[in-house]
Chain A
Amino acid sequence: DVKVTQSSRYLVKRTGEKVFLECVQDMDHENMFWYRQDPGLGLRLIYFSYDVKMKEKGDIPEGYSVSREKKERFSLILESASTNQTSMYLCASSFDRAIEAFFGQGTRLTVV
């Protein structure tokens, strides 16, 4: 069974903290993605990676960075958390960028 695992289901962080969201996939997929989901805005792509150590900006990369040191792991970093980064964060992976992506269960991040 395909599996994408996000390290936390719920997180509460303080404004200004550095936050790490971890994602691991066990399907040997080349492509990994970070999205955030907000009411009325759907899923917006933050960053994606096509290979180890490769990264590309998505539609809303400001305030975020990523790390992909190993093929199976893709980390999203909030350099200095702000309240407008309170959201549901979703990690996904895919064999081919053009076909279905498999999602993790999501991390609900609250920045206070």
Chain B
Amino acid sequence: DQQVKQNSPSLSVQEGRISILNCDYTNSMFDYFLWYKKYPAEGPTFLISISSIKDKNEDGRFTVFLNKSAKHLSLHIVPSQPGDSAVYFCAANFGNEKLTFGTGTRLTIIP
């Protein structure tokens, strides 16, 4: 049972444009959400997070939006750069439980 879903396995975006990566979840108990970025042959690195008490969190070019009623979160990258090409995973948890990861979206930035 996939509780965290990333329905787009891949996404291509022109350099300089906005990249929008989406994530849906089914467990209404989730109260903390994270995005990780992964390059090939490397471990994932933490990018940005959001608590369920917020609906937006910004860090430089990266913004995460949370829509609790729709059980949906999204990561916006503006402007997109070639170095942003990677696989992006969303993750969620509640209370003090372990993280549950999505299946990932491969983002390719076209120069």
Contact = CB atoms under 8 A, between A and B. Distances in A.
Q: Are A and B genuine complex partners?
A: yes
Interface of A: 4, 9, 33, 35, 40-45, 48, 58, 90, 92, 96-106, 108
Contacts of B93: 97-98
B108 to A, nearest CB: 16
Contacts of A42: 6, 89, 101-104
Interface of B: 6, 9, 32, 34, 36, 41-46, 49, 89, 91, 93, 95-99, 101-104
B97 A98 contact: yes
Contacts of A90: 43-44
Given A43-B89, A43-B91, A103-B36, 12 more contacts: A40-B103, A42-B89, A42-B102, A43-B104, A44-B101, A58-B98, A97-B98, A98-B32, A100-B34, A100-B49, A102-B46, A108-B41
Nearest to A44: B101
Nearest to B31: A98
Contacts of B36: 103
A99 B97 CA distance: 10
A58 B101 CA distance: 12
A98 B43 contact: no
The 10 closest A-B pairs by CB, nearest first: A103-B43, A42-B103, A43-B101, A100-B46, A103-B44, A42-B101, A105-B43, A42-B104, A97-B96, A104-B43
B43 A4 contact: yes
A41 B96 CA distance: 24
